């Protein structure tokens, strides 16, 4: 019985020739990630350990991104805790305001994640790096603390679900539409503690940004991780972003999967997740007349360069609806700068949008876009739980940047023309 791609990476990390689903292992870590919310908890846990310091100053990444620039005194204290820890331990990959970005966009951009890596992060969307053929998953702050101290973590080897993507998606159909369709199909616990492995001839039509989006939201289906095979697009991305050596793992031909789904990309339509779960999906042509108050374009799911380009293309020469609030958040400083050089920032501002420095802010109901009682928002973020973005009576509709931008112009949920 063969191994899946994820199982091969975990076997290598554990120094074993073979692992099986359900097996408990200890694996060496290539990277441990924390942000300004989760890192302080881990740091305070480390203070209780007999072992002091970190296992490798170059294999830890600390990215304050949730409440930065600091929104209040409490967030400032959290960031100071992380800043002091990074300084005391000489952490190489600490990214302060002005250099930081939304963590799951920043780390691949900086070349810190490569194929074959075993990565943990005290943030549930750490599964993003599976787009590059790495095993990456979210953990709690206590596991982050142990990982920073020892360079190891324990895992239960996941079983897997295979998603075969076929055909060429229509214009405006992006990775967000694909993953929302999948979550709507299998449910928010449809891949519980399983590896979601994406294969098929349709991959050649998906950009790296599409793949990051899909892997990012594996957790919204309950997945332990999402992962893509390494192909020519992956290799080109790596050439542009890193000089690190990496190892490519491929699933065995006789690998065992719990389930297999075929997703015909050419048949997909622009898709939206209605409140209050990502699985509550509808195609936009089923939306009816849903008037909205706010649009957010950004986040670790959809704040990358391709997302900005699509939004700018739709907003060019247009203006958002009267009374609409549209917040655009490039995910990193490099993306912000490229948006400026390409004229996208001018397009956004002339269209009536506000453009923010990189931050997770509105996604988690932190700041920079809190919703009031009864307000509705179309957002390119990843979760639409009750109260996620503000008042418990507010509503979040998850969508692609194309749908979000078109909806900002119309003042209601619509598909891009």
CB atoms within 10 A of CB 180: 30
pLDDT band at 50 (very low <50, low <70, confident <90, very high): confident
Same fold? 5-263, 272-410: yes
| CATH 3.30.499.10 is the classification of domain 5-263 | yes
Q: Is residue 48 reached through a cis peptide bond, with omega within 30 degrees of 0 on the bond before it?
A: no
- Inform me whether the pLDDT recorded for 51 exceeds 90: no
pLDDT at 287: 80
**Residue 384 and residue 392 in contact, taking contact as beta carbons nearer than 8 Å:** no
Average pLDDT rounded to a whole number, residues 341-346? 98
Within 20-102, residue ranges assigned H as helices are 39-46, 73-88
Q: Which residues contact 233 (CB under 8 A, 6 or more apart)?
A: 204, 206, 207, 208
Tokens of 50: 């007999």
Q: What is the pLDDT of residues 281-292, one digit of tens each?
A: 999 988 888 999
pTM for this predicted structure:
0.95
Superfamily of 272-410 according to CATH: Aconitase, domain 3 (3.30.499.10)
207-216 in b/e burial notation, b at 16+ Cβ within 10 A?
ebbbbbbbbb
pLDDT band at 52 (very low <50, low <70, confident <90, very high): confident
Closest CA to 315 of 238, 254, 404, 204: 404
Q: What is the pLDDT of residues 182-201, one digit of tens each?
A: 999 999 999 999 999 999 99
The DSSP bridge partners found for residue 32 are: 60, 120
pLDDT at 341: 97
pLDDT at 378: 98
Segments making up each domain of the chain, as ranges: 5-263, 272-410
């Amino acid at each position: 019985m063969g191994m899946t791609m994820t199982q091969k990476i975990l076997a290598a990390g554990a120094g074993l020739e073979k692992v099986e689903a359900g097996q408990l292992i200890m694996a060496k870590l290539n990277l441990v990630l924390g942000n300004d919310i989760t890192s302080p908890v881990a740091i305070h846990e480390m203070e209780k350990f007999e072992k002091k310091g970190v296992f490798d100053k170059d294999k830890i990444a600390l990215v304050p991104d949730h409440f930065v620039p600091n929104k209040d005194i409490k967030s400032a204290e959290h960031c100071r805790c992380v800043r002091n820890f990074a300084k005391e331990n000489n952490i190489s990959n600490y990214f302060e305001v002005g250099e930081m970005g939304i963590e799951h966009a920043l780390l691949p951009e900086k070349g810190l994640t490569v194929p074959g890596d075993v990565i943990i992060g005290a943030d549930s969307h750490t599964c993003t790096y599976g787009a590059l053929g790495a095993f990456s998953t979210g953990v709690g702050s206590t596991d982050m603390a142990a990982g920073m101290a020892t360079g190891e973590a324990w895992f239960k080897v996941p079983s897997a679900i295979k998603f075969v993507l076929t055909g060429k998606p229509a214009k405006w159909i992006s990775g967000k539409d694909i993953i929302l369709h999948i979550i709507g199909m299998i449910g928010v616990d449809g891949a519980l503690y399983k590896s979601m492995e994406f294969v098929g001839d349709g991959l050649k039509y998906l950009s790296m940004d599409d793949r990051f989006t899909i892997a990012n939201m594996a957790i919204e289906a309950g997945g332990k991780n999402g992962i893509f095979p390494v192909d020519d697009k992956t290799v080109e991305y790596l050439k542009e972003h890193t000089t690190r050596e990496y190892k490519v793992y491929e699933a065995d031909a006789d690998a065992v999967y719990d389930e297999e789904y075929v997703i015909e990309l050419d048949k997909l339509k622009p898709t939206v997740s209605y409140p209050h779960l990502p699985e509550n999906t509808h195609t936009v042509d089923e939306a009816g007349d849903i008037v909205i108050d706010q649009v957010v374009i950004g986040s670790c799911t959809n704040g990358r360069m391709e997302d900005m380009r699509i939004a700018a293309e739709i907003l060019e020469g247009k203006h958002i609806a009267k009374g609409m609030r549209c917040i655009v958040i490039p995910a990193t400083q490099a993306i912000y700068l490229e948006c400026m050089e390409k004229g996208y920032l001018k397009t956004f501002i002339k269209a009536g949008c506000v453009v923010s420095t990189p931050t997770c802010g509105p996604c988690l109901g932190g700041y920079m876009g809190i919703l009031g009682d009864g307000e509705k928002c179309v957002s390119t973020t990843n979760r639409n739980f009750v109260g996620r973005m503000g008042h418990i009576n507010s509503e979040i509709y998850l969508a692609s940047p194309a749908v979000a931008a078109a909806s900002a112009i119309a003042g209601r949920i619509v598909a891009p023309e």
